[in-house]
Amino acid sequence: MRDRHAKILATIGPASSSFEMLDKLFIAGADAFRLNFSHGDYATHKTNIENIRKLEEKHGKPITILQDLQGPKIRLGAFKDQAKHDLEEGDFFVIDDNPEEGDKNRCNLPHPEILDILTKGDKVYINDGIVRMNVVEKQGRKVTCKVYEGGTVSSRKGVNLPGVDLPISSVTEKDWQDLEFGLENGVDWVAVSFVQKEQDILDVKAKVDGKAAVLAKIEMPNAVKRIENIIDASDAIMVARGDLGVECPIEDVPSIQKKIIRKCRQEGKPVIVATQMLESMIENASPTRAEVSDVANATFEGADALMLSAESAAGKFPEKAVQTMHNVICRVEKSSAWYDLIHAREVSTMPNTGDAITHAAAETAYALKAKVIVTFTEYGSTALRMSRQRPRRHIIAVTPHLHTARRINLAWGLNCQIKPNPTSQESLSDLALSAVKDAKLEQVDAPIVLTAGLPFGVAGTTNMIRVI
């Protein structure tokens, strides 16, 4: 059992796809693994899934697999002779539906539905926001833009349209096929990219039909505006700061991150902070001071999980990146400042029995100086409610279902174990003591607080607290 509350989600890629490296990443601190379906083929992803399940068997711990769908990527067409062109401030550049190869003055955008809705004043960013333009004139599907931040354009570079409500689905045909593959192979979470509205999530949930949990990646201004509805529709949220920092003013990203973390905690939905957390460790064995502060800040804010992207997928030091993140989180969580900040942001108790019970359990553990809270959960809702309380205690979530353990393993502070449902009050205490023993904690001489529901084994019946 890790002595850490915030979780680590590591992306698998060429640098980390072997079983031996996955094992090292898990030992170093990775709690969950991300499969990026923007890259790789099905054979590679299937092997990765199989290796993670072997890892799970080796260590006897539930391990979470997150499938990250690519989503729609808007790109320019091709330039003649694959040329690169430098655009300077004040230059005019046309995007249109002309299929001919582009030049310094124009290029095809193979999305007529987007050309149709662009209007004067809209922003058009190319190449991850390096080139920035405003729409100054439109004639049918010929859109003339004026450059206000120059840079290089070339074939197939990405296009961002900040603030434009895109008339395209967040899930492409490729995504639906990838989703089917993921569900067939038992992924635990599905991340939906470029979410604009809650319906994007509801559509995926209808297809998933309970076979996995669904996470919304927040990387567009429209998603930020509709964040309450998207949180309500989703099982979890990811603050995807890469595209978010292109689509929104970059100086707004920290406050957006804080806002989303706070709202997710209030609603009891796990939240992941992602992108460039230890970016320099792609090439270097040590992080920058600013990166350490970034990891620490997300931990102080109470994020459920922090994600490594290229650092673990393609970097030179994947194991060290995970170990570094683990060390920073652990150091933060041992500080009095962390505890003070976490509890300064206490959330209001929701008007239902489960929330009242978990709130009372956290308060009871604090009053009795209990070191461990054991929560029995059928499908995870009680465990997530306990996580929402952010008690400075070990939380052991006991469930009879492996798929439940794998899903809730992504949430703050939850150490998941698979055990049968209790059948009596006596077996309830025995199972709780067994869970504490299996967690291999140091001698627990203080009381243990547990929560459960009567009748046993019925979801949504959490209604009791016991101290043993």
Phi, psi of 440 (to 5 degrees): 55, 40
Q: What is the mean pLDDT of residues 345-367?
A: 88
Confidence of residue 444 (pLDDT cuts 50, 70, 90): low
Average pLDDT, the chain: 95
The matching CATH number, chosen from 2.40.50.140, 3.40.50.150, 2.40.33.10, 1.10.3720.10, for 80-160 is 2.40.33.10
E strands, 241-302, where? 271-274
Q: Where are the domains of the chain?
A: 7-71+170-335, 80-160, 353-467
Confidence of residue 456 (pLDDT cuts 50, 70, 90): confident
Confidence of residue 86 (pLDDT cuts 50, 70, 90): very high
Q: Which two tokens stand for residue 82?
A: 């694959």
Q: What percent of the chain has pLDDT over 90?
A: 90
Q: What is the spatial distance between Cα 67 and Cα 182, in angstroms, rounded to a whole number?
A: 7
Q: Do domains 7-71+170-335 and 353-467 have the same CATH topology?
A: no
Q: What is the spatial distance between Cα 50 and Cα 186, in angstroms, rounded to a whole number?
A: 10
Confidence of residue 383 (pLDDT cuts 50, 70, 90): very high
Q: For residue 340, what pLDDT is reported? A: 84
Between 170 and 446, the higher pLDDT residue: 170
pLDDT in tens, 219-278: 999 999 999 999 999 999 999 999 999 999 999 999 999 999 999 999 999 999 999 999
Q: Which two tokens stand for residue 4?
A: 């850490």
Give which of 97, 96, 111, 104 is closest to 80, Cα–Cα.
104
| Residues 22/27/193/293 CA torsion (nearest 10 deg) | -130
pLDDT in tens, 232-247: 999 999 999 999 999 9
pLDDT in tens, 384-429: 999 999 998 999 999 999 999 999 999 999 999 999 999 998 899 9
Q: Do β-strands 142-149 and 92-96 pair in parallel, antiparallel, or remain unpaired? A: antiparallel
| Neighbour order of strands in the sheet with 142-149 | 106-108, 92-96, 142-149, 131-139, 123-126, 159-160
What is the number of other CB atoms lying within 10 angstroms of the CB of residue 58? 11
Looking at the annotation, which residues are catalytic?
34, 75, 217, 275
Q: Which two tokens stand for residue 30?
A: 């990775």
Q: What percent of the chain has pLDDT over 70?
A: 99
Q: For residue 443, what pLDDT is reported? A: 56
pLDDT in tens, 149-195: 999 999 999 999 998 999 999 999 999 999 999 999 999 999 999 99
Burial tier of 438 (Cβ tally within 10 Å: 0-12, 13-18, 19+): middle
pLDDT in tens, 26-53: 999 999 999 999 999 999 999 999 999 9
E strands, 279-359, where? 305-308
Phi, psi of 199 (to 5 degrees): -65, -30
Domain 7-71+170-335 has CATH 3.20.20.60: yes
Peptide bond before 287: cis, by omega within 30 degrees of 0?
no
What residues contact 225, with CB distance under 8 A and at least 6 apart? none
Q: For residue 377, what pLDDT is reported? A: 95
**Domain 353-467: CATH class, spelled out:** alpha beta
pLDDT in tens, 195-215: 999 999 999 999 999 999 999
